[in-house]
Amino acid sequence: MKSQRKRQAITIYGCSEEERQVFESIQGGYDVSFRLFEEELAEDTVSYAKGCECISINHSVRVTPMLLDRLYQLGVRYISTRTMGYDHIDVAYASSIGIYIGNIRYSPNSVADYAIMLMLMATRQAKSLLKRTEVQNYSLPRRAGREIQDLTVGVVGTGCIGSTVISHLSGFGTKILAYDRYERNEVKQYATYVSFDELLEKSDVITLHMPAMKETRHMINRSTIARMKQDAYIINTGRGSLIDTEALIDGIESGKLAGAALDVLENEMQYLYQDCQDMPLANFDFALLNSFPNVVITPHMAFYTEKAVRDMVVNSVEGCIGFLNGKEEVVVNEVAQRKIV
């Protein structure tokens, strides 16, 4: 009697209830099984991966060399992060010990639409207006809002999400400037590529869509803020490390900047997706920014739509299966090209 091949298992860390529903709905469509855990990957949960070549994680955990060593000892050779970004993983160390890293793609509309929403909230003083209404203050604000079609929007980073922002924003009739090291022809029908300095000098609203890399760390700093237009707005749905937080605070307090809307912040990991309403925040900069009436802060939620959640789950699973089947085109994704291959 011919024995059946043992079904491969994939350990899923940080599995939310919505993700669990998607994993369970697709279970029968793949020749793998899922070990679903609500707990994040950590020292006390790393053993859950024993016997699995592949695991899937989210952005809420720092994957350190120590964790990578333990995962390798347990037999893990591929980590799929259910995110586009991978700055939470020590990719170089993973490569050095023989662990491949895979990131995923999901609906760019999720973040693109959210970024435009933040632009509208910032330029129409939505935070201040909502707070006033909560205490039954229905008077006009001291300063009128600004209409986005009368403004110049600078989009920094024209990858999948940035280019979608430009496409959607074109419907508002606003003038759009773009900056990226690699220009895309499809963007040019809606926006004008310029240098980073020119974008800073001419944009009323600057929206950031760059990955977290050594070259992009603190690309918004005291020097670049000084070159911006008076009363400019900064929108960030990219990564918190793109902005020097202290410089941003100075720009807000001095009146150089009219406001900011931030879905990501430096050092956000210590609070990400936690209920902190009954505890003091140890991060003073975080608390200070949140106190400003012209700064909108949301907790890294731009990606969070039903479609994007499904995309993240399905693409993470398919990345793992591609690795198990030895398909190089699946393994050689954005992370692998830069850090591993």
Strand 295-297 relative to strand 100-102, pairing: unpaired
- Average pLDDT along the chain: 91
Burial of 325 (0-12, 13-18, 19+ CB in 10 A): exposed
Query: What is the pLDDT averaged over residues 278-292?
Result: 87
CB of 153 within 8 A of CB of 165? no
CA-wise closest residue to 217 among 267, 281, 260, 288:
267
Q: Has residue 2 got a pLDDT over 50? A: no
Query: What is the pLDDT averaged over residues 286-306?
Result: 93
pLDDT at 337: 35
- Concerning whether 59 is annotated as a catalytic residue, the answer is no
pLDDT at 176: 98
pLDDT tier for residue 177 given thresholds of 50, 70 and 90: very high
Q: Has residue 299 got a pLDDT over 80? A: yes
What does the DSSP 8-state code read for residue 63?
Answer: B
Q: Domain 108-297's class?
A: alpha beta
- The domain covering 8-106+305-340 belongs, at the CATH homologous superfamily level, to NAD(P)-binding Rossmann-like Domain (3.40.50.720)
Q: How far apart are CA 19 and CA 38, in angstroms?
A: 10
Per the listing, tokens 């070259």 go with 215
Secondary structure (DSSP) of 203-214: -SEEEE-----T
CB of 334 within 8 A of CB of 100? no
pLDDT in tens, 244-284: 999 999 999 999 999 999 999 998 877 777 888 888 878 88
pLDDT in tens, 79-134: 999 998 888 999 999 999 999 999 999 999 999 999 999 999 999 999 999 999 99
35, 239, 266, 310: the active-site residue: 239
- Concerning whether 38 is annotated as a catalytic residue, the answer is no
CB of 249 within 8 A of CB of 289? yes
82, 209, 300, 310: the active-site residue: 300
- Concerning whether 239 is annotated as a catalytic residue, the answer is yes
Could you tell me where in the chain the CATH 3.40.50.720 domains are found?
A: 8-106+305-340, 108-297
Alpha carbon 291 to its chain centroid, in Å, reads 23
35, 82, 209, 268: the active-site residue: 268
Q: Which residues does 301 contact at the CB level (< 8 Å), separation at least 6?
A: 114, 263
